[in-house]
Every structure is written in C-alpha cells, then in structure tokens.
Amino acid sequence: MAIALEKRFETLVSDVQAMQKELILTKMQQIKKSRCTQDAWKALSQKISPLWDTVSAVEEVASQREKHW
C-alpha cells in the first residue's frame, strides 16, 4: 500500500512540475509578444518622429481643429 501511495505522489509531483513548465512557457510567450509589439511601436515612432519635428504640438492641434489638411 505504501508503494502505491508513493507512486501516486510521484505522479502528482511530476504532473505539477509539468504544469509549472507550461505556465512558465506561456508567460514567456506573452512577454515575447508584448516586447515585439513595443518594439514595433518604437520603430514606428522613430520613423515618424523626424517628420513631426518642424510642427509643434500646439500648431498641430490647431490645424486639426481648423481642419487644414
């Protein structure tokens, strides 16, 4: 009986360890996705920012309100 309980316990422990590994891998994938998204936004901002250097934010808001496109 004790051997059967030990085997069950070992099975439970190995199942819990497998679940922990899956959780860690899932979290790492989420982190990679969010980093990729952040990197994409940073790249876009670096690409667009030089185009906005000549116009101040106040002028841009004013032109959008007046709809001078």
Asked if the model's pLDDT at residue 68 lies above 70, the reply is: no
Number of domains in the chain: 1
Domain containing 46: what range? 2-66
Separation of alpha carbons 62 and 68, rounded Å = 9
> Which pLDDT does position 54 carry in this prediction?
77
**55: DSSP letter:** S
> Which pLDDT does position 69 carry in this prediction?
53
Residue-wise pLDDT tens digits, 18-58: 999 999 999 999 999 999 999 998 888 888 877 776 777 78
Confidence (pTM): 0.53
Residue for token digits 């059967």? 4
